[in-house]
Amino acid sequence: MASNKNKLAFLSMPAPASYVAGLGRGASGFTTRSDIGPAREGPSAEVIAEAQARRGEEPEIDPEQFQDPDNEYGLFAGTTYEQDDEEADKIYDDVDQKMDSRRRARREARENAELVKHRAERPKIQQQFADLKRGLSVVTDQEWESIPEVGNLTRKKRRKDERTFAVPDSIIVGDRSKSEYENSLDTRQQQANGFETPADTGTMTNFVEIGQARDKILSLKLDQISGTATTSGSATSVDPKGYLTSLNSVVLKTEAEIGDIKRARMLFDSLVKSNPKHAPGWIAAACLEEHAGRMVAARKLIKAGCEQCPKSDDVWLEAARLHNNDDAKVILANAVQHVGQSVKIWLAAADLEQDAKSKKRVLRKALENIPNSVRLWKETVNLEESATDARILLSRAVEVIPLSVELWLALARLETPERAKAVLNKARKSVPTSHEIWIAAGRLLEQGATGDPEKTTETINKELDLVDKTIELGVRQLRQHQVLLTREQWLKEAERCESDGSPRTCEAIIKATVSMEVEEEDRLDTWVSDAESAEARGMVGTARAVLAYALKVFPDQRNLWRKAADLEKAHGTKESLDGVLSQAVHYCPQAEVLWLMSAKEKWLAGDVPAAREVLEKAFIANPESEQIWLAAVKLEAENGELGVARELLVRARTVADTERIWMKSAVFERQQGQYAAALETVSTALSKFPKFAKLYMVQGQIRQMEKQYSTARASYAAGLKACPKEITLWVLASKLEELDGKSIKARALLEKGRLVNPANEILWAESVGVEERSGGAAQAKAMLARGLQECPSSGLLWSMSIWAEPRPTRKSRSVDALKKSKDNPLITCTVARLFWTERKIEKARQWFSRSVATEQDKDIGDHWGWWLKFERQHGTPEYMEEVIRQCVAAEPHHGPVWQVIAKDDKNVGKSTKELLAMVADALQ
């Protein structure tokens, strides 16, 4: 025992100074108020006041300390409460009680009245639902059970009650016995030959009850479809013979949709109860019930809405929509009594009528109530079958509504031309601010001028001049009445007139208004832009009128004449194009393009003498123009006048004396088989124009045709020395060496050409071709890779790279090519050919169309040839004709195969259609 006492002796000893309880097991020490002693008191109020006085600060005074008479902290804080103070307080209390008793009755009556008024204005929730609580006494158990459960509107997830129960032994035993099998019969079964179940003791299937239950379910489904309960007493709207078909139209709603409908029903119910005069609330509630398939409830709601909002025509219209035709008529008849000035109600009532006579009766009744409705008058007039009756109605309508422009114009259209003028004059006086009336007057004058075929041209022109004067006068009158339409609005009116078949009125509007709101220095650009936008919208007459007015202001603008000629060529007739070109060469005699266009159009029309006459006039105006000289030579040569063409070339070399005329002279002699004369002409021309590369080409080609390879090589060498930047010369020289069987020299020539002309795709493509023709596929592929490194955006090289790839990788290669070459037409044509090989016909046709989309792309004849070849194989004759038509209109001049065929001497004089067929045959 002694030893135990010694062990616990430390408990009575004081703890060491640095001891922290629990430090050995990881506890940390903490400090309390008892360890550091009480907090130091702050300065007293006297010390604070003395310090503020030394600093010159005034002590802060609480403004509330003198307000309460019971608070004697301030003024009498230091005094003693004595007996006389107590007596004074008692006297004051008695006085207060006396004064309070004098006005107590009146004050309490006033307070009670204010309380009653406040309760009437803002009743408690309990008072608001007092009548509903009293009404709960008559609610039956069935109605109580049919009240829907309130959903969770807090959007908070509630915790589900997870309760567990012990599984009874009977369930465990029964589950175990499910998989057991009986291996023996019961002893009683063995003795009595099995258990017999007498028929009179067992339950029998009652098929009659099953049929009745099925009929009841079908009737409930029919009621749900029709929206009319059988207990309501009203007839169902479903055909009993087609009830199975109707059952197929039942839309089964999910639980979420049903929940949404219930919540929306509660919201709308609260809305119509809190604000029963709000018509949209009733309409929305009825639409909800209609969506839910409860037509009876919807009709009841909209009926209550009609009673609460009898001045809202939308409620009445919704009620008419929810009922059948006969009930809707009754509803709209009641609606007229409340909102008799509603046009929509009357129109809806007219729409419910089946025959025209009843519609007329309803609309005439409507006009008696609302005579100033333009819409009612228009509907009434539209029902009239006789023009005379319609004219009578419109005459009455313009008397009642003299400011309606529509009615005036409708009346003018029904009148004869003479009486229509009188009607429009009356309309102009009644509505002086309407531009439609002036436009209608112009159209009327135009119809009168062009309607009689027996009139002479002079008479027609005089009457059409009245159209211009009428529109011009109208614009001035409108300005006087402060009606200022913008240029865009007038242009739209002009386009509308053109669409309605009044081109002269359109032209008159353009003449009178196109110069409005345009600065003088911006007129030309603005008018050209207006013409182009009108042409893009298909309004050719408007564009023609704008250009005609611009040409009157700027008659010396050759570009403007060119646009007018192109417009007539695309959309006009031969006569109109000839007229425009005749005026163009009259005002711009120095414009060679206009002379050539005029001569070409006459030549294409088959009038060769007229074309010669045009070119003779062009010679007079432009004696030194090489284009006109060459056009005259071409005209004579293609018409078989070779002697005249040769004489013209001689005169041209004397008068104009240009390098191109000398070159064309040599080519003409070569085409006629006069090689010696051609070489002599080339030699003379080279002495005059040693830097013109095409002369060396012609000379080399003639020597090559004569199998004089050495002299041809010398011609090309001289040309390369004089014109090292001419790519075609390098290619021709290379092909000559290949033709002579010297591929190594051709390769060296092309390499030298690439050094002189770096990053040139044509030279790289020719180098790849030389390697392929020499049989070096690997060298060709390496050369192509080098070319793509130097020309990464070359469409020609990328096209060759695509075809050099194996078939499975061509499509991915084409995607890279499209990205690198930025939709180059060569790549587009190559992609079309890829789709062609994959039998994707429509895609191939679309990509072929894209390859000739722009004006620059249309000049490549090989693309047209590939497209025609494709249509020959997979298209129809219509597609082929369309491709040929577009190609003839485009007149292509470039392309590797196209140029070879077009410049062949055997094909001189052939048309674009013939050349296209030959190119399509040559492509492979």
pLDDT in tens, 508-558: 888 888 888 888 888 888 888 988 998 888 888 889 899 988 989 888 888
Q: In the prediction, which pLDDT does 269 show? A: 84
Mean pLDDT of 162-169: 67
Q: In the prediction, which pLDDT does 783 show? A: 92
DSSP letter, residue 265: H
For the stretch 512-518, contacts whose Cβ atoms lie closer than 8 Å and that sit 24 or more positions apart, written own/partner, are 512/468, 512/471, 512/472, 512/474, 512/475, 513/475, 513/485, 513/487, 514/487, 514/490, 514/545, 514/546, 514/549, 515/549, 516/486, 516/487, 516/490, 517/486, 517/487, 518/487
Token duo for residue 503:
């081109």
Q: What sections of 179-240 are H helices per DSSP?
A: 187-191, 207-226
Q: In the prediction, which pLDDT does 234 show? A: 42
Q: In the prediction, which pLDDT does 616 show? A: 83
Higher pLDDT, 127 or 826: 826
Query: What are the residues whose beta carbons fall under 8 Å from the beta carbon of 532, sequence distance 6 or more?
Result: 543
Q: In the prediction, which pLDDT does 228 show? A: 45
Distance of alpha carbon 778 from alpha carbon 463, whole angstroms = 80
Task: Give the helix/strand (H/E) hosting 444.
Answer: helix 435-450
Mean pLDDT of 248-258: 60
pLDDT band at 236 (very low <50, low <70, confident <90, very high): very low
Token duo for residue 654:
């004397």
- Evaluate if residue 773 carries a pLDDT over 50: yes
Distance of alpha carbon 558 from alpha carbon 703, whole angstroms = 44
> Lowest-pLDDT range, 223-227, 283-287, 655-659?
223-227
- pLDDT tens-place string over residues 578-618: 888 888 888 888 888 888 888 888 887 778 888 888 888 88
Q: Which of 826, 801, 796 is nearest to 813 (CA)?
A: 801
Helix (H, G, I), strand (E, B) or coil at 894: strand
Mean pLDDT of 218-234: 54
For the stretch 555-563, contacts whose Cβ atoms lie closer than 8 Å and that sit 24 or more positions apart, written own/partner, are 555/587, 556/587, 556/588, 557/524, 557/588, 558/584, 558/588, 558/591, 558/593, 558/594, 560/524, 560/528, 561/587, 561/588, 561/591, 561/594, 562/593, 562/594, 562/597, 563/528, 563/531
Distance of alpha carbon 592 from alpha carbon 304, whole angstroms = 85
Q: In the prediction, which pLDDT does 734 show? A: 92
pLDDT band at 485 (very low <50, low <70, confident <90, very high): confident
Query: What are the residues whose beta carbons fall under 8 Å from the beta carbon of 915, sequence distance 6 or more?
Result: 861, 898, 901, 902, 907
Q: In the prediction, which pLDDT does 178 show? A: 61
Higher pLDDT, 454 or 75: 454
- pLDDT tens-place string over residues 418-450: 777 778 888 888 888 888 878 888 887 787 777
Distance of alpha carbon 414 from alpha carbon 407, whole angstroms = 11
- Evaluate if residue 782 carries a pLDDT over 50: yes
Residue with tokens 């959309």: 571
- Evaluate if residue 199 carries a pLDDT over 50: no
Contact criterion met (CB below 8 Å) for 715 and 699? yes
- pLDDT tens-place string over residues 291-335: 888 888 888 888 888 888 888 888 888 888 888 888 888 888 888
pLDDT band at 1 (very low <50, low <70, confident <90, very high): very low
Rounded to the nearest 10°, the torsion over CA 484, 488, 492, 493 is: 20
Q: In the prediction, which pLDDT does 607 show? A: 81
Q: In the prediction, which pLDDT does 674 show? A: 86
- pLDDT tens-place string over residues 647-687: 888 888 888 788 888 888 888 888 888 888 889 989 999 99
- The fraction of the chain above a pLDDT of 90, given in percent, is 15
Contact criterion met (CB below 8 Å) for 763 and 753? yes
Helix (H, G, I), strand (E, B) or coil at 157: coil
pLDDT band at 202 (very low <50, low <70, confident <90, very high): very low
Q: Which residues of 801-814 are buried (b: 16+ CB within 10 A; e: fewer)?
A: bbebeeeeebeebb
Residue 305, amino acid: G
Q: Which residues of 466-499 are buried (b: 16+ CB within 10 A; e: fewer)?
A: bbbebbbebbeebeeeeeebeeeebbebbbbbbe
> Lowest-pLDDT range, 48-57, 490-499, 888-897?
48-57
pLDDT band at 180 (very low <50, low <70, confident <90, very high): low
Rounded to the nearest 10°, the torsion over CA 901, 902, 907, 909 is: 170
Distance of alpha carbon 594 from alpha carbon 586, whole angstroms = 10
Helix (H, G, I), strand (E, B) or coil at 322: helix
Q: In the prediction, which pLDDT does 194 show? A: 52
Beta bridge partner(s), residue 77: none
Residue 31, amino acid: T
Q: In the prediction, which pLDDT does 864 show? A: 94
Higher pLDDT, 454 or 649: 649
Contact criterion met (CB below 8 Å) for 791 and 767? no
- Evaluate if residue 568 carries a pLDDT over 80: yes
pLDDT band at 279 (very low <50, low <70, confident <90, very high): confident
Helix (H, G, I), strand (E, B) or coil at 860: strand
Residue 33, amino acid: R
- Evaluate if residue 247 carries a pLDDT over 50: no
- pLDDT tens-place string over residues 840-885: 999 999 999 999 988 888 899 999 999 999 999 999 999 999 999 9
Q: In the prediction, which pLDDT does 158 show? A: 56
> Lowest-pLDDT range, 140-154, 340-354, 462-476, 607-621?
140-154
Distance of alpha carbon 899 from alpha carbon 701, whole angstroms = 14
- pLDDT tens-place string over residues 381-408: 887 777 777 777 778 888 878 877 777 8
For the stretch 311-319, contacts whose Cβ atoms lie closer than 8 Å and that sit 24 or more positions apart, written own/partner, are 311/338, 311/339, 312/279, 312/339, 313/339, 313/342, 313/344, 313/345, 314/279, 314/280, 314/283, 315/279, 315/282, 315/283, 316/345, 317/344, 317/345, 317/348, 318/283, 318/286, 318/287
Averaged confidence pLDDT in the chain: 80
Query: pTM of the prediction?
Result: 0.56
Mean pLDDT of 127-145: 78
Winning range, highest mean pLDDT, from 271-275, 368-372, 438-442, 896-900 = 896-900
Q: In the prediction, which pLDDT does 850 show? A: 92
Q: In the prediction, which pLDDT does 763 show? A: 92
Distance of alpha carbon 572 from alpha carbon 886, whole angstroms = 18
Q: In the prediction, which pLDDT does 235 show? A: 43
